[in-house]
Amino acid sequence: MSIDVDEPLTPAGRLFVQPATDQIINCVLGLDRPVGIEITRSVISDSLLIKHPRFTSLLVKDNHGREHWKRVELEIDHHIIFLPDAVGNHEDDEAAVNDYIADLTVSCPLSTDKPLWEVHVLPAHKCVVMRLHHSLGDGVSLLSLMLTMCRKVSDGDKMPTIEPPSSSKSDRRESAIYTLWKLLKMMWFTLIYMFEFLLRSLWIRDKKTALRGGAGVELWPRKLATAKFSLDDMKTVKNAVVNTTINDVLFGVISSGLSRYLEFHSPKPLQEGLQITGAAMVNLRPSQGLQEFTELMKNGSKSRWGNKFGMMLLPIYYHKNGTDPLQYLKRAKKMIDKKKLSLEAYLSYKIGYFIMKCLGAKFASLLNYRIICNTSFTISNVVGPKEEFMIAGIPVTYIRTTSSSLAHAITMHMVSYAGKADMQILVAKDLIPHPDKLAKCFEHALLEMKEAALKLTGEKPSKFQTSLAKKCEISDTNIHEV
């Protein structure tokens, strides 16, 4: 039964319901103990989720094919999928849940007969999986909404919060000449990077490697692995290079890890310095850090619910193992500093919005799809709460997220929580048959950088004798290319 007038989808929302760019966010909450269906129903019934118009509306089309939200009465039981038995044949909970989610990313779209979200309860593996269509909102909005259902472990009356990320900017006063030079560089970098965006949407593409996908790869079967990092380790590395951020460290780790993986898994020797381009999602909200749900929905707030993020094209370069591990970080920082100085992310959002309004969702979806096909991987990083929190009195042990499969052979999403950072690595298994080995390459890349950072600061390094070659080497030689 309809209970409200129809609301049209935003341009970004329309993009995410197009077949080529249809996206579902799969968020996993690990729990300290199993949860039952009654507790799940109670938490949802008492949450702000059921009061939000996007979560109580059907996606419908009018006679002209335009998508709208149509408010309906919510039937909570239709959104809860309870699986009392273990999923898959794995004895390890993490492997079983990862395989379960990997299957969801390819073969299980959300039904349009109900609002576009589901909660899968897996008590045998002590976790719940929240499936939310990307047209409902971006990672910032959806994580903010989720946190309204949670409370701090240290104070059961307070919701968890997320502190603003530390800035790497200097506090020095800038002269007029320096400001003018900075403005000129911003204009120059913006011009170069937007021209590259244009070329990527037309014909320029990465060279073929064991990591690159292409058109149609989004339909291939998937595997999922988890790389686990310590935020303390990342901060140790960050402090080794002046004005470095956690994002710089993350991209340095990815650069080192992918180079290490390709060194052992490429069917033929690769050229030193070969470019491998990633598409990075960038939050464009005016506030630093995540806003609470109440702030996002407040009248007059500069932050708005929905999708508000841009895209940056971030290149990394293949280098053989044996160089200073911190060189990967320094190269990543130098590149990202130029990207942040430009308006690439902001203009990618504004131009995409303009194309959606003027040329339609199908054309905008085609451009986005071509950019994905012509690059090699996707990366995103969301900052989560520093303190542990609980839901329905049950402590949450981890937060992990991934999205529907793309035309990339590798998609990476990292979320930090309570001193840890877990990165979900979703791969096309015919191209990357052992994503767990790739995850190990990333983990050991961080540890190797940490050892180098400790030596720089004069601290005594720990014993780090693991053979990276053996850990990252892949025995399979059957490489498929698109």
Which of 142, 145, 119 is closest to 130 using CA atoms? 119
Which of 39, 72, 69 is closest to 149 using CA atoms? 39
Q: One-letter amino acid identity for 48?
A: L
Burial of 382 (0-12, 13-18, 19+ CB in 10 A): buried
Please give the Cα distance from 22 to 15 (Å, whole number): 8
- Token pair in block for residue 371: 């950019």
Which of 425, 428, 419, 454 is closest to 437 using CA atoms? 425
Q: One-letter amino acid identity for 81?
A: I
| β-sheet bridge partners, residue 413 | 380, 424
What is the dihedral sign for C-alpha 387, 390, 393, 397?
negative
DSSP letter for 172, please: P
Q: Buried b vs exposed e over 120-140: b needs ≥16 C-beta within 10 Å?
A: bbbbebbbbbbbbbbbbbbbb
CA atoms within 13 A on the CB side of 390: 15
Instruction: Assign 3-state DSSP to the chain and report helix, strand, coil percentages, each to 5.
Output: 40, 20, 40
Please give the Cα distance from 89 to 95 (Å, whole number): 9
- Token pair in block for residue 459: 């601290």
Q: Name the residues annotated as catalytic.
A: 134
Contacts of 319 (CB under 8 A, 6+ apart): 259, 272, 273, 327, 328
